[in-house]
Amino acid sequence: MQKDLNTYLVEMEKIMAERRSKLKSGPNVIQLRYLSQHISPAELAQLETETEALGLQLSAMDRSGIMQNSISSLSGDLVLMLTEPGITGILLSGLMTNGLYDGLKALIISFWSKVNGKQTVSQTARTIREHPASFNLSIKIDENRSVELKTENLDEKALGVALDKISDIVKDLGNQKNTLMLFDPLDIKWTQVMVDIDYLKQHQKLTREIPLEEYLEELRRKESGELK
């Protein structure tokens, strides 16, 4: 059984490698990872048109049919990744009177609408479960810092407010390298998500929560032999 699972995982990695090889790159490219159960070919074509209207390109990869290593808060069913400085700078500037900002904000909301209110069936080697579809916005701030923004339980108006508050993140993050954040519509601010590391590693009952950056640093130290 274990051998069959390992063979399956190797085959899935080959499929993912082939899909990744078709991704675009460049200073005006936005990356999208999605599940085809949420976005049809026609909807994807429409999103590409909306992206091109801003002078940008969409590079999309379908993750459907790929078993995940775990079901966790570290990935969404639809993940929009802004990694190029010219694009992230529009959001992080906080210049809400800028026409480019308005266009990018509307584009992000358009992507979000594709999964809003939908359900997803997620499968790992151990579990299959249905849960609300999630949309995450991943932003590369600079070479050393990035942030993944979760938009759970937000309506369109609240999401718009959340996007307007993204520029505040840079001020609050300081030197933190990798951070997972959730928007609190009551306090109207982004707050750091504490990661359930035992769930991530063993799917066991919660015993300890730490910030994502500390968790990633712990993994790095273990891999390097610094931490036993």
pLDDT digits 0-9 by tens, 40-56: 999 999 999 999 999 99
Contact 30, 50 (CB under 8 A): no
Q: Is residue 100 in a domain?
A: yes
**What is the 8-class DSSP label of residue 84?**
S
* Residues 111-138 pLDDT 10s: 999 999 888 776 655 566 677 888 989 8
Is residue 179 one of the residues assigned to a domain? yes
**Cα three-residue angle 85-159-50, rounded to 5 degrees:** 55
Q: Per the domain annotation, does 205 fall within a domain?
A: no
The residue segments making up the domain with residue 7 are: 2-192
The answer to whether position 165 is within a domain reads: yes
What tens digit of pLDDT does each residue of 45-93 get? 999 999 999 999 999 988 876 655 444 444 678 899 999 999 998 888 8
For 94, half-sphere exposure in the C-beta direction (CA atoms, 13 angstrom radius) is 7
CB 182 within 8 A of CB 150: yes
- Residue positions counted in the chain: 228
For residue 221, tell me if it sits in a domain. Answer: no
Write down the H helix ranges in 128-194: 156-164, 166-173
Q: What is the total count of domains within the chain?
A: 1
